[in-house]
A and B are shown apart, each in its own frame.
Chain A
Amino acid sequence: KAGVTQTPRYLIKTRGQQVTLSCSPISGHRSVSWYQQTPGQGLQFLFEYFSETQRNKGNFPGRFSGRQFSNSRSEMNVSTLELGDSALYLCASSLYGTSGRGREQFFGPGTRLTVL
């Protein structure tokens, strides 16, 4: 099975712009989660989608949004970019979206976003 893929791998934007990142989960996985990783804050949960519904959301401003399509592919969007949004954005998919059944997550390689 192909792993989780994320596009693009690298992105450079300027403040005020918006960006859309894409994630294709492992075939058959219905849950997609997004994380932001920075040296200062570590790995922070952004949101999770399961069957096109947002199931949980982390503590991020409304500039961060996402969606999931019927084929389980997911996109996240960041509007009005700020310098502090520079980070590695990781997407992870899992087979089960229900806590308690074992939520082993399979991560993509990430998208490195640099905001200038």
Chain B
Amino acid sequence: SQQGEEDPQALSIQEGENATMNCSYKTSINNLQWYRQNSGRGLVHLILIRSNEREKHSGRLRVTLDTSKKSSSLLITASRAADTASYFCATDEAAGNKLTFGGGTRVLVKP
């Protein structure tokens, strides 16, 4: 079963709007990461947030982590057509040497 479950599964917005997606997980983690995947290609690492961090920024990306609720959110501000992609959260579990990916959120940014 997947550790991370993402919500929503799909999101359609206009260019310039913000996009927010959420990720929930089940077990204790060392860190949580967000990746982007353009259609049928490899994943690109966006940002990593450690379990002792609550918020992190990188350019137009803002990630929050609430370990008490076992959830994270990714906010993309001022979206662009080039942000159209699938976004995945991945948890680096405290027990185990692997990343576990969620089902992803498909984001469509309309020009």
Contact = CB atoms under 8 A, between A and B. Distances in A.
B82 interface: no
B93 interface: yes
Nearest to A103: B92
Given A99-B93, A103-B92, A108 B42 contact: yes
Interface string A100-112: 1011111111101
Contact of A106 (B2, B45, B101): B45
Given A99-B92, A99-B93, A99-B94, A90 B99 contact: no
A56 interface: yes
Interface residues of A, number: 28
Interface string B25-56: 00000110101000011111100101000000
Contacts of B100: 45
Interface in B76-111: 88, 92-94, 96-104
Contacts of A112: 40
A104 B97 contact: no
A42 B103 contact: yes
A63 interface: no
A56 B98 contact: yes
Contacts of B50: 102
Among B48, B97, B101, the most chain A Cβ lie within 10 Å of the Cβ of B97
Given A43-B88, A92-B43, 16 more contacts: A42-B104, A50-B97, A55-B97, A90-B42, A97-B97, A99-B92, A99-B96, A100-B30, A100-B92, A102-B31, A102-B50, A103-B92, A104-B45, A105-B33, A107-B42, A107-B43
Interface of B: 2, 30-31, 33, 35, 40-45, 48, 50, 88, 92-94, 96-104
